[in-house]
Amino acid sequence: MNVEFINPFLESLNNVLGTMASLELKAGKPRLKKDEKAQGDVSGLIGMVGPQTKGSLSITFEGTLALEIMQRMLGERPTEINEEVTDMVGEITNMVTGGAKNILGDKGYDFDMATPVVVSGMGHTISHKSDGPKILIPFGSEYGNANIEICFDK
Amino acid sequence: MNVEFINPFLESLNNVLGTMASLELKAGKPRLKKDEKAQGDVSGLIGMVGPQTKGSLSITFEGTLALEIMQRMLGERPTEINEEVTDMVGEITNMVTGGAKNILGDKGYDFDMATPVVVSGMGHTISHKSDGPKILIPFGSEYGNANIEICFDK
């Protein structure tokens, strides 16, 4: 998987969070995920299906960061990861993937998106079961960390 | 969503587990999932995209049941939900959705499948963020419980 495929997701997350929550996360270096386990407390997942390839994306947040984004986007800060927070994470997952889809579509990589699914549970881990390489992009902030993982077949 | 859409997933899970693990789970009554939270320890998720609709499916297992299936399918019983178990759950998710896709394709409902993603973490919950109704099919066994959740837009 080349950088042409990764950058649109990275840019798209910061576009979405910058616009919706006035928050910029600091992106670390994208890397191949091997045995490493990225843990988080709330994750949005979405499937992608295109004529050339299919795959999956996840965005995992530490709870403290998800609650900070919630406060900035909606002006309220629940005490726990409730349904409003999972709705927001699903929405962010949809918008980030949609933003990347637009950029990639302009480059000739088309795919359709399934509907998002959100997982909540302290310290859960995500394993993408595609045949292709798994790319992990770490993001940091003073409020907590996030990760995007992208995986396409082939 | 009508029963024509639900039964293929229910049948497919018991086909897969019957063939691969000589195990039959007892299916409970499918129901609309509203506020209810189905908890589990390891879940397989997959996105579905078709010309008429798109959606998501999850199969959530209690850890004890996942380990029993592992022992029956592969003759080994890890002490925890490790990568071999998540691989197996991803494979089951793929096979169950693929089986249902074949049955539904014969009835004129076509969709493509994304690649599966597996979540592990004690007591996590799954929220499908589609606009359509969320159907929950509970399964029981002496080794633990499982749930299939299916959600299609529209």
To 10 degrees, what angle do helices B3-21 and B63-74 make? 50
Q: Which of B117, B122, B153 sits opposite A126 (nearest CB)?
A: B117
Residues of A in contact with B90 (CB under 8 A): 127, 129
Residues 6+ apart with CB under 8 A from A118: A42, A43, A44, A45, A86, A87, A89, A90, A93, B126, B127, B129
Contact at CB, B117 and A94, closer than 8 angstroms: no
Q: Which of residues 44-103 of B touch A (CB under 8 A)?
A: 44-49, 54-56, 58, 83, 86-87, 90-91, 94
Residue B26: helix, strand or coil by DSSP? strand
What integer pLDDT is reported at residue B34 of this predicted model? Answer: 78
What integer pLDDT is reported at residue B112 of this predicted model? Answer: 95
Q: Does B1 touch chain A (CB under 8 A)?
A: no
Most confident of A3-12, B79-88, B102-111: B79-88
Q: Is B138 exposed, middle or buried (0-12, 13-18, 19+ CB in 10 A)?
A: middle
What average pLDDT does the structure give for chain A?
93
Residue A152 belongs to what H/E stretch? Answer: strand A146-152
What integer pLDDT is reported at residue A83 of this predicted model? Answer: 94
What integer pLDDT is reported at residue A45 of this predicted model? Answer: 98
Percent of chain B whose pLDDT exceeds 90: 82
Residues of A in contact with B54 (CB under 8 A): 112-115
Alpha-carbon distance of A137 to A143, in angstroms, equals 17
Distance from CA of B136 to the nearest CA of A (A): 14
Residues of A in contact with B86 (CB under 8 A): 127, 129
First to last CA, chain B: 8
CA-nearest of A132, A86, A135 to B114 is: A132
Phi-psi region of A22 (alpha: psi -120 to 50; beta: other; left: phi over 0): left
Residues of A in contact with B153 (CB under 8 A): 115
Contact at CB, A127 and B94, closer than 8 angstroms: no
List the CATH number of the domain containing B97.
3.40.1550.10
Contact at CB, A86 and B127, closer than 8 angstroms: yes
Residue A101, both tokens:
């889809």
Residue A38 has pLDDT above 80, yes or no: no
Residue B44 has pLDDT above 70, yes or no: yes
Contact at CB, B49 and A49, closer than 8 angstroms: yes
Residue A29 has pLDDT above 80, yes or no: yes
Q: Which of residues 15-34 of A touch B (CB under 8 A)?
A: none
What integer pLDDT is reported at residue A3 of this predicted model? Answer: 72
Residue A36 has pLDDT above 90, yes or no: no
Partners of residue A141 on adjacent β-strands:
none
What integer pLDDT is reported at residue B5 of this predicted model? Answer: 84
Most confident of A2-6, A82-86, B130-134: A82-86
Contact at CB, A47 and B56, closer than 8 angstroms: yes
| A-to-B residue pairs, Cβ atoms closer than 8 angstroms | 132
Residue range A130-142: mean pLDDT, rounded:
93
Q: What is the DSSP letter of A107?
A: T
CA distances from B49 to A30, A46, B110 (A): 28, 11, 9
Residues of A in contact with B1 (CB under 8 A): none
- Which residue range is the domain that position B33 belongs to? 3-152
Residue A71: helix, strand or coil by DSSP? helix
Q: How confident is residue B1, by pLDDT bands cut at 50, 70 and 90?
A: low
Number of domains in chain A: 1
Residue A20: helix, strand or coil by DSSP? helix
Residues of B in contact with A93 (CB under 8 A): 129
Alpha-carbon distance of B7 to A50, in angstroms, equals 27
Residue A1 has pLDDT above 60, yes or no: no
Let me know the angle formed at the C-alpha of B98 by B96 and A35, rounded to the nearest 5 degrees. Answer: 75
Residue B114, both tokens:
């994304």
Helices (H), B22-119: 63-74, 83-106
Q: Is B89 exposed, middle or buried (0-12, 13-18, 19+ CB in 10 A)?
A: buried
**Using one digit for the tens of pLDDT, what is the confidence trace for B13-24?**
999 999 999 999
Distance from CA of B111 to the nearest CA of A (A): 10
